[in-house]
Structure 1
Amino acid sequence: MKLSEGVEAAIHSAAMLAAVEGEATMPASALAEAFGLSSSYLLKHLQALTAARILESVPGPTGGYRLARAPERISLLDIVLAVEGPRPAFRCGEIRRNGPAKIDASAYVEPCGINAAMLRAERAYRAALAAEKLSDIITEFMADADPRVVRASCAFAAHHARPQKPNSQNNR
């Protein structure tokens, strides 16, 4: 199964936003810079995450994005579904019925055994993604990554975070 590059960008962006403290935000342009992506490309994925209520978009000159809920309440499945949509990866086209010998549809076992097997695999895959929380990914990164990468990532997040003023219109 191949997921779009947008899934990778979305997961990395959500992980970076987990480093933004309190009500602060980070602009899409900074997230794009952090991962060497074009802002317009990343923006469509950030908008999908916002529509799925994984991120919150804060308007205004000090606005940007932040997590809409705690990292332990965001699964990788949440992010994949926000970017890729809810349809299964495998879509049976019933090609078994397309050969030169046209047989009445009633001759074919329903559902297609291949489709049934692929949907079982999809359910297992989705269950595994649902069990993987953004907080787990971050914890593993902090424990296993080269300390230079951790310092650089944390410094980047701290530098680009935009604090929100108390009692401003930008607060949730």
Structure 2
Amino acid sequence: MSEGVEWALHSCVNLAWSGPDRAVPAARLAAWHDLPAAYLNKQLQALARAGIVTSAPGPRGGFRLARPLAEISLMDVVAAVEGPEEAFRCTEIRQQGPGGAGRGADGGPDRTGHRAAADAPACAIAHAMGRAELAWRTALAAQDLDEVRRQAERQAPGAPERLRAWLAAP
């Protein structure tokens, strides 16, 4: 998972702390954590395409949350930044090499010229990885960003006010 996911998650919480009426420019959000503005802007644009944030152009523009944090799951943010593809992609390497299924005794193609049997069972490794990915995605979908915000505020009670004061400064 890219660091862009972490940046996007923090940005969502920071936008919640900044207040519902404040649009925050990507450069300002990036400066709060000393991040490259152009790269953070790319993550924020992905969040905008996913309907997690909205963006307003112009000198008073920036980003706002499109919906409450309680309606945004961690999986929503991961999918927005990383895309919907599965993390593990089975390329069927078990079908390659001298031990590959569907090969003749000499390691070459079988009598029909095919490398793999059409009725070969699903790859056990792909199956195990798929189960793990489903569990991971389910866990992320079950956690919303408001839960994360509340935990962050318990750990750093003054963080929301420090951010608001910093954003208000010239």
Q: Which TM-score applies when normalising by structure 2?
A: 0.85
Indicate conservation of the 8 Å contact 2:20/2:65, yes or no. no
Q: What stretches of structure 1 of length at least 5 have no aligned partner? A: 162-172
Indicate conservation of the 8 Å contact 1:72/1:134, yes or no. yes
Please show how residues 159-170 of structure 1 align to structure 2 within 5 Å: 159-160=166-167
Shift of 1:60: 1.5
Shift of 1:144: 2.3
Q: Which TM-score applies when normalising by structure 1?
A: 0.84
What is the Cα-based RMSD across aligned positions, in Å? Answer: 1.6
In the aligned structure 1, how far is the partner of 2:122 from the partner of 2:22? 50
In the aligned structure 2, how far is the partner of 1:109 from the partner of 1:18? 51
Shift in alpha-carbon separation, 1:102–1:83, aligned structure 2, 3 A: farther
**Greater Cα offset, 16-25 or 61-70:** 16-25
Indicate conservation of the 8 Å contact 1:27/1:160, yes or no. no
In the aligned structure 1, how far is the partner of 2:73 from the partner of 2:144? 4
Cross-structure match for 1:42: 40
Residue deviations 1:87-140, cap 9 Å, x none? 111000100111132454117733211101111110100000001110000001
Local SS of the residue matching 2:42? helix
In the aligned structure 2, how far is the partner of 1:8 from the partner of 1:136? 16
Counterpart of 2:161 (choices 150, 154, 163) is 154
Indicate conservation of the 8 Å contact 2:17/2:163, yes or no. no
In the aligned structure 1, how far is the partner of 2:62 from the partner of 2:68? 17
Shift of 1:61: 1.1
Percent identity, aligned pairs only, is 47
Higher relative contact order (CA 8 A, sep 6+): 1
Shift in alpha-carbon separation, 1:122–1:102, aligned structure 2, 3 A: farther
Counterpart of 1:89 (choices 87, 90, 97) is 87
Local SS of the residue matching 2:89? coil
In the aligned structure 1, how far is the partner of 2:166 from the partner of 2:61? 15
Shift in alpha-carbon separation, 1:107–1:99, aligned structure 2, 3 A: farther
Aligned partner of 1:154: which letter? E
In the aligned structure 1, how far is the partner of 2:133 from the partner of 2:165? 38
Cross-structure match for 2:103: none
Aligned partner of 2:145: which letter? L
**Greater Cα offset, 37-46 or 104-113:** 104-113
Counterpart of 1:138 (choices 149, 152, 165) is 149
Cross-structure match for 1:120: 131
Larger Rg: 2
Shift in alpha-carbon separation, 1:160–1:52, aligned structure 2, 3 A: same
In the aligned structure 2, how far is the partner of 1:107 from the partner of 1:8? 42
Cross-structure match for 2:52: 54
Cross-structure match for 2:64: 66
